[in-house]
Amino acid sequence: MALSVPVPYVRPATLAEALDALAEGGEPRLVVCGGTDVYPAHATRPIDRAVLDISRVDGLRGIERLPDGGWRLGATTTWTDVAEATRLPPAFDGLRASARQVGGRQIQNTGTVAGNVVNASPAADGTPNLLALDATVEMTSAARGSRIVPLAAFVTGNRSTVLQPDELVTAVIVPAIDEAAASTFAKLGSRAYLVISVISVAAVAVVRDGIVADARVVVGACSPVPARLGSLEAALRGVPAGDAADVVAAVHLAGLSPIDDVRGPAAYRLDAALTLVRRAVAAVTA
């Protein structure tokens, strides 16, 4: 029986060292931090390329308020960091709720928000919330410096992103949002915790004088990329808050494309999505 050959493993201490490692020629490196997605995926097959572990890179962990009122979540910020961040405004309540449902406590302590985004799973728990917050992704390379792209453009498909082999995601950035914004997150699975979503919904809304001034609704696990329901968002603006949930209709889910798999058939996912979206809209407009 052939034995697997050990691959190079690098754990840099600075961002410059990490970017230099990515810039080296040859096979692109496998970037890990918590490794909560990567290592289980290789449980039955060896890792066959050099590993770059960024978990010890100085300055990449933490949640920072920006001068313009936005928020910066460093690339190695964990789910536990988000769940326990008391300074975040109510608009982040949905993201914090998802942080408490990503695996068990051990996963939350090591898994990162940025890693969840880069993994680009259609059922990712963090991505719907970040899309509802109009988040952007900051990427940095040694050769070209930094660039920032909307999260909606960063994730291009199932396990697919615009991240280049020599780039490292250095932060997820949430722009300033109305202090009156409310948010929520709900997921449906075969059990309450430690489960991949059959369907998930994130919603953010601003209500002023009893009228919905802004609304953002995202459905996960029903398309290759979590999808914002633009037609529903438009229909909700200007509606009395007490009537908002009644506005939600099946036509607003027309852009979704769920599949049949072991977690549930497509028809069930659509039906469940309609129910969860109504509940989410009711929650953020109450």
39-57, pLDDT tens digit by residue? Answer: 888 888 889 899 999 999 9
Does 1 fall in a domain?
Answer: no
Q: Is residue 2 part of a domain?
A: no
Cα–Cα distance, 29 to 23 (Å, whole number): 10
pLDDT at 41: 86
- pLDDT-derived band at 195 (thresholds 50, 70, 90) equals confident
Instruction: Return mean pLDDT, the chain.
Output: 94
Domain that residue 42 falls in? 9-53
Q: Which residue has the tokens 């997150």?
A: 185
**Dist. CA 21–CA 44, nearest whole Å:** 27
Using the 8-state DSSP alphabet, how is residue 275 labeled? Answer: H
Q: What are the angstrom distances between the C-alpha of 220 and each of 52, 89, 121, 209, 251? A: 29, 23, 9, 31, 17
CATH number at residue 170: 3.30.465.10
162 and 188 in a single domain? The answer is no
Is residue 117 within 8 Å of 130, Cβ to Cβ?
Answer: yes
21 domain residue, yes or no? yes
Q: Are residues 74 and 166 in the same domain?
A: yes
Residue 283: in which H helix or E strand, if any? helix 266-285
pLDDT tens, position by position, 219-263? 999 999 999 999 999 999 999 999 999 999 999 999 999 999 988
CATH number at residue 190: 3.30.390.50
The per-residue pLDDT for 4 is 56
Domain C-terminal end among 174, 190, 217: 174
Cα distances from 59 to residues 56, 63, 70, 163, in angstroms, run 9, 11, 18, 21
Nearest to 207 by CA among 281, 144, 261: 281
69 and 164 assigned to the same domain: yes
256 in a domain, yes or no?
yes
Tell whether 253 and 156 lie within a shared domain. no
Judged on CB neighbours under 10 Å (0-12, 13-18, 19+), 117 is buried
For the stretch 92-143, pLDDT in tens is 999 999 999 998 899 999 999 999 999 999 999 999 999 999 999 999 999 9
Say whether both 167 and 197 belong to one domain. no
pTM (predicted TM-score): 0.94
